[in-house]
């Protein structure tokens, strides 16, 4: 089978040439688990940090041996546990860049293929969607009267944040994204009230115009600077969800991300750090709530797709440079065999 690995250790922002697709033996089915045929592979920004040993203390894979980490959606081809049988569809955060994954049962979640397209379980119903739902409904507790600002708004987290905020009753939802195409996706497809292109001249004035009554919630995906800018537009008692600092994932030295304490105090702001791991036990609850939103057309998603494991390095490089428009997904194998 094919397996995607590192050619060498990396201490820079990963590029396609850092990866190798090699032949590896099909693993044995673990005693307390399953063998899964990988169909869709999720590419996520945190993996870039993890390959440099910078993510939550998790180790980088061994070059020319270990699979690149990544969530997968796939089908069970062999099972040694009663809870899962051949043919079941599953999602796992522990799959990785490989055509067949050996997974223990605790790392596998059974999914219902009828509730949404299967690839959605890598994005809007996968870890990015769960992240958005957790921040909006469990931490910021968005409801009527709220004005919500989110950056990286064209991506799977940001795009879902704004749409769930709207579904939960927010009055106004504003995005920030890089470039006119991404902003069009955010307003025309995701239905945000406005999207500000931060690469365009005068964007900070446009942002102020888009928030005439300020904001009550901001959801930070990009940087401490962006979070501080959001705070300048905050009403008092605003809530901020600190989700990601993607702009700093590949800086040479990891900065300390200073926050303006005086501004936070003056705004009486409440800031919550979000780590999606805390919400994994509530994944099925999220899917039960969100799948009908997809069916009804209230929750839309976009995908940046590639086909075949060989295409994963190029798509990963695009993701590392913020060139993806929507969820980066590699379809490793056809859904039906």
For ligand NAP, the closer CB: 172 or 182: 182
The SS3 assignment for 298 reads: coil
For ligand NAP, the closer CB: 178 or 240: 178
Instruction: Measure the CA angle with vertex 157, ends 150 and 165; round to 5°.
Output: 55
Longest dimension (CA), the chain: 60
Residue 52 token pair:
């440099």
Q: In the bound complex, what is the minimum distance in angstroms from residue 14's beta carbon to ligand NAP?
A: 12
First to last CA, the chain: 16
Q: In the bound complex, what is the minimum distance in angstroms from residue 35's beta carbon to ligand NAP?
A: 27
For ligand NAP, the closer CB: 35 or 306: 306
| Residue ranges in contact with ligand NAP by CB under 6 A | 44-46, 127-128, 131, 152, 154-158, 177-178, 182, 221-222, 243-244, 246-247, 274-276, 321-322, 324
According to the 3-state scheme, what is the secondary structure of 12-71? CCCCHHHEEEEECCCCCCCCCEEEEEEEEEECCHHHHHHHCCCCCCCCCCCCCCCCCCCC
293 contact partners, CB below 8 Å, separation of at least 6: 163, 167, 299
For ligand NAP, the closer CB: 43 or 76: 43
Q: In the bound complex, what is the minimum distance in angstroms from residue 177's beta carbon to ligand NAP?
A: 4
Report the candidate in 88, 92, 118, 120 with the shortest Cα–Cα distance to residue 105. Answer: 92
For ligand NAP, the closer CB: 4 or 178: 178
The SS3 assignment for 241 reads: strand
Q: In the bound complex, what is the minimum distance in angstroms from residue 162's beta carbon to ligand NAP?
A: 12
Cβ–Cβ < 8 Å for 305, 235: no
For ligand NAP, the closer CB: 234 or 243: 243
For ligand NAP, the closer CB: 33 or 178: 178
Q: In the bound complex, what is the minimum distance in angstroms from residue 23's beta carbon to ligand NAP?
A: 30
Q: In the bound complex, what is the minimum distance in angstroms from residue 244's beta carbon to ligand NAP?
A: 2
For ligand NAP, the closer CB: 18 or 44: 44
Q: In the bound complex, what is the minimum distance in angstroms from residue 251's beta carbon to ligand NAP?
A: 9
Q: In the bound complex, what is the minimum distance in angstroms from residue 151's beta carbon to ligand NAP?
A: 7
Report the candidate in 33, 47, 186 with the shortest Cα–Cα distance to residue 127. Answer: 47
40 contact partners, CB below 8 Å, separation of at least 6: 72, 73, 74, 118, 119, 121, 122, 329, 330, 331, 332
């Amino acid at each position: 089978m094919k397996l995607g690995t590192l050619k060498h250790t990396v201490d820079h922002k990963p590029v396609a040439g850092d990866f190798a697709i090699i032949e590896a033996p099909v693993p044995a089915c673990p005693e307390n688990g399953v063998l899964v045929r990988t169909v869709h592979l999720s590419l996520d920004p945190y993996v870039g940090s993890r390959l440099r040993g910078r993510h939550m203390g998790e180790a980088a894979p061994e070059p020319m041996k270990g699979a690149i980490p990544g969530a997968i959606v796939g089908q069970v081809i062999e099972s040694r546990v009663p809870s899962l049988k051949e043919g079941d569809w599953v999602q796992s955060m522990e799959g990785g860049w490989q055509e067949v994954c050996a997974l223990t049962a605790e790392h596998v979640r059974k999914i219902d293929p009828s509730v949404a397209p299967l690839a959605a379980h890598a994005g809007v119903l996968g870890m990015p969607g769960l992240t958005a739902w957790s921040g909006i409904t469990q931490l910021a507790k968005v409801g009527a009267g709220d004005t919500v600002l989110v950056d990286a708004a064209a991506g799977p987290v940001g795009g879902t944040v704004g749409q769930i905020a709207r579904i939960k009753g927010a009055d106004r939802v504003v995005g920030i994204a890089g470039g006119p195409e991404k902003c069009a996706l955010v307003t025309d497809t995701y239905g945000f009230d406005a999207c500000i292109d931060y690469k365009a001249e005068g964007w900070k004035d446009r942002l102020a115009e888009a928030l005439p009554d300020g904001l009550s919630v901001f959801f930070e995906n990009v940087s401490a600077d962006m979070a501080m800018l959001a705070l300048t537009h905050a009403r008092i008692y605003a809530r901020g969800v600190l989700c990601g600092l993607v702009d700093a994932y590949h800086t040479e030295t990891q900065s300390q991300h200073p926050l303006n304490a005086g501004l936070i105090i003056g705004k009486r702001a409440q800031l919550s750090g979000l780590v999606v791991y805390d919400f994994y036990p509530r994944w099925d609850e999220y899917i039960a709530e969100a799948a009908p939103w997809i069916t009804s057309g209230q929750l839309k998603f976009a995908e940046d797709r590639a086909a075949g494991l060989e295409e994963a390095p190029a798509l990963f490089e695009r993701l590392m440079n913020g060139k993806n428009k929507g969820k980066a997904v590699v379809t490793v194998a056809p859904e039906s065999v």
